[in-house]
Amino acid sequence: MMVTEINSITPLLAVLVSMIASVLILASGKYPNLREGWTFGAAAIKFGLVISMLPLILNGKVITYTVVEMLPNLPIAFKVDAFGILFAITSSFLWIFVTSYSIGYMRSLNEHAQTRYFFCFAIALSSAVGIAFSANLVTLFLFYELLTISTYPLVAHNETPEAISSGRKYLTYLMIAGVSLLFAIVVVYHYTGTTEFSFSGIAGMATIPQTTLIILFVTFMIGCAKAAFMPLHAWLPAAMVAPTPVSALLHAVAVVKAGVFTALRIILYVFGVDLMQDSGIWLYMAYFVSITIILASVYALMQDNLKKRLAYSTVSQLSYIVLGALLITPHGITGGMLHIPYHAFMKITLFMCAGALIVTAQKEKISEMNGIARQMPITMIAFTVGALGMIGMPPVGGYVTKWFLLLGAAELHSMILIAVLLVSAVLNAAYFFPVIYVAFFKKPDHKLAYKEAPLTMLVPLVLTAIISIVIGIWPDAPGMFLDIVEIAVANVTGGGI
């Protein structure tokens, strides 16, 4: 599909703004208000730069910028297309909410090493936007690994033996995945002479022998361990030892979304729709991620710790995104892409609610939350909104993406995949409704004396809950996520929904 390319430095500026802020954050460590002012300022500027490119993308343009060419056809370069800006808008917008929430959380608990925390946070968001705007596999790889390195101190933030152990597990899984990803990139460059993303897949991929092609695809998917496919998921529940804002970062804003974003880039922009169909790879991978969808939901049912239940929920929900792309139908791809921002708003709401419970009530286990909604009604109403969205119940946004996924599976006449989506919805209800029941309808074990979290925490979770409803009621609002996704789907399929 022909598109007009426009050269602009704006993508580079959007990446650099929080890099620059990270230096200012370090320099302002002794002055918390100034330090957090840099964080807020960078968040606002980054989002402004990202959103300034949206009108061009909605008009069918692509924005490019080359930083440097290291070797022939191996530049460090940026290309902003509809799919990339979808992820960039999601991560940069939610950074504003998580920044406010982080300030309330860290100050309420008087956390140590707050300067290091905000420094790493800024680097992580630069990495996420760098991944979103990468024009090729090499540029993506550099930011992908920077994201791993910058989030390791966040996972190990508490510096307890459990936190250090979880941090090591996190780093081990994702660094090994990075080696796998790098190997796959070298193979692609060897066979095709380029690593640049293309709407129809990288030219020359079809010349790779079938067996090699399958091995290459598997190697790429191992490299996407941030997407938490089973059995490469163990780092994610372990990482829940981190502070709750970090969990929100991992699950909604940056890390796991970078994993599924990269997986979709590889499926649709490296292999391409036609090659995925012709090779039959899509079907085997679709069944593989379907197993993750079901098993992770079963594991979620068995967790009494709320953050771990949410973590296993994320493992399941991420595979919805990849499954949508693997369906290789316009409706399926639409559902997969759209689930990136929709899941982000709903899941960040859930994690921020969990953090509010920890800060105010010091409760992490569901079995200890009897009647807690009587003292924290706003928090638990917001939690309920996020949970209903995850289940796929209107009017919260989750039903929109699951409807598209069901349409995609129906277009393939695959009863197995339809059953997977329906059974997983039942399992979602099975592990979310007990939390709601315990909080709203069970009698407290003793007299409660809790109150809502500080406004810096409460306001963000209320706003993300409201947005989760708005995107469900009005998914086709002009310039909103569905508009962007329709352009991205038309690019890779040559048509639309």
For 412-443, the pLDDT digits (tens) are 999 999 999 999 999 999 999 999 999 999 98
DSSP 8-state class, residue 495? S
- The tens digit of pLDDT for each residue in 276-324 reads 999 989 999 999 999 999 999 999 999 999 999 998 999 999 999 999 9
Q: What is the pLDDT of residue 443?
A: 87
pLDDT band, residue 495 (cuts 50/70/90): low
State the DSSP string of 441-463: HSPPSS-----PPPHHHHHHHHH
The percent of residues above 90 in pLDDT, for the chain, comes to: 73
Element (H, E) at 75: strand 74-80
Q: Are strands 4-7 and 61-71 parallel, antiparallel or unpaired?
A: parallel
Q: Are 478 and 116 in contact (CB under 8 A)?
A: no
Write down the mean pLDDT value for the chain: 91
Q: Is 233's pLDDT higher than 90? A: no
Q: Average the pLDDT over each of 327-336, 359-368, 379-388 and give the range with the smallest value.
A: 359-368
Give 11's contacts (C-beta < 8 A, 6+ positions apart).
53, 63, 65, 78, 79, 80, 133
Give 395's contacts (C-beta < 8 A, 6+ positions apart).
469, 472, 473
Residue type, 390: M
Angstrom CA distances, 413 to 222, 410, 424, stand at 29, 5, 18
State the average pLDDT over residues 166-182: 93
- The tens digit of pLDDT for each residue in 95-120 reads 898 888 888 888 887 888 889 989 99
CA dist., res. 77 & res. 82, Å (int): 17
DSSP three-state, residue 71: strand
pLDDT band, residue 129 (cuts 50/70/90): very high
Residue 449 φ/ψ, nearest 5 degrees = -135, 35
Q: Is 450's pLDDT higher than 60? A: yes
